[in-house]
């Protein structure tokens, strides 16, 4: 019976691939907009929403959104129920330990959740106040 040998991968190739894997990482943030008692409430997100690590001078860009409209459009929020939507961002640096979710917009009322502690899965649930 022939001997099966494992192929060897050159160390430089492994390091190059690791960099690409880290570049492809994404961060998922499930956001809860708390229930209101008013009919006709509207919500939206702007493309200028980021995950920000000021310590590392890093911003992860918004790359996808689910269940919420992007400026200039609006999504109606049903009364008496928490409203959930999901945002997907480009990856954070591995050195990042805490970050902010911040909507940087030219008007009042932008979302800002401070000091989100980094976890191993890079999937988060936050409440927007």
Confidence at residue 25, expressed as pLDDT on a 0 to 100 scale: 86
**Burial (0-12, 13-18, 19+ Cβ within 10 Å), 46:** middle
How many CB atoms sit inside 10 A of residue 31's CB? 22
- Encode the chain (129 residues) as per-residue pLDDT tens digits: 566 555 566 677 556 555 444 556 899 999 999 988 878 889 999 999 999 999 999 999 999 999 999 999 999 998 899 999 999 999 999 999 999 999 999 999 899 999 999 999 999 999 997
Q: What is the pTM of this model?
A: 0.80
Confidence at residue 21, expressed as pLDDT on a 0 to 100 scale: 47
Cα-to-chain-centroid distance, residue 69: 16
């Amino acid at each position: 019976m022939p001997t099966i040998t494992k192929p060897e991968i050159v160390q430089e190739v492994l390091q190059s691939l690791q960099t690409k894997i880290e570049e492809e990482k994404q961060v998922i943030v499930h956001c809860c907009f708390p229930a209101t008692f008013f009919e006709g409430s509207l919500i939206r997100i702007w493309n200028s929403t980021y995950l920000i690590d000021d310590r590392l001078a890093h911003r992860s860009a918004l790359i996808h959104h689910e269940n919420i409209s992007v400026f200039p459009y609006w999504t109606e929020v049903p009364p008496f129920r928490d409203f959930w939507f999901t945002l997907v961002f480009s990856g954070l640096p591995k050195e990042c330990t805490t970050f902010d979710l911040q909507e940087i917009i030219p008007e009042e009322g932008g979302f800002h959740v401070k000091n989100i502690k980094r976890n191993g899965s890079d999937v988060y649930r936050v409440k927007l106040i």
